[in-house]
Amino acid sequence: MTRRLAAALMLLAALGLHVGVAAPARRQRDAARDEFARLREEREGLRVQFARLQRRSASVRAPSGDAEAVRALRLSFLAAVEGLPLKAVRISAAAGRQGAVAARGRLAADGRQSDLLRAAGRLAEASSGVLLENVRFAQAPGNDLRLEIEAFSLRAPADVPTSAFPGQAPADAKAPR
């Protein structure tokens, strides 16, 4: 009789443990899974939004005026190499002659491959406002590599002359009287 009573008490204890501990733990686990799935979907939505904003910032245009466009290009070059242990850094920039190009420039630097790739990556980011035209790596004296980048920035659409023929006044310009 005592064995049956002990078995019944153990069965009641197991049932109480299941109802009191295991079932609430399962509900808590299921709620955590749902929350995790919701946060994962939110993260993916934010990632898509970030990519869209990054693409939109790729269309960043150079400021109006030749001097401002050249200055902005130089500042982008300087921001790309800032804090990197590079040697023989040379930066040049000039105003674009005509058309949609606001400024053209060149960056050259010597250093380790990882540092040069980091600088090129910074310039390739949409937020730099620079479009890369040509990127070259060459062997520099010693164990270093040389990075040479040719890049340009674009004018705002309102600043682009609409003439179909180079050197001719834009079609929307008023003729002198």
The pLDDT score that the predictor gives to residue 127 is 73
Q: Give the Cβ contact number of residue 138 at 10 Å.
A: 10
Domain hosting residue 153, numbered range: 66-159
Q: Is 82 in the same domain as 101?
A: yes
Indicate the residue among 9, 34, 57 that finishes a domain: 57
pLDDT tens column, 76-129: 888 888 888 888 899 988 887 766 777 889 999 999 888 999 999 888 887 777
Q: Is 152 in the same domain as 78?
A: yes
Nearest 5°: CA angle at 71, between 70 and 76?
100
Rg of the Cα trace of the chain? 32
- pTM flag (> 0.75): no
Indicate the residue among 57, 87, 102 that finishes a domain: 57
Q: Is 13 in the same domain as 94?
A: no
Whether the pLDDT of residue 172 is over 60: the answer is no
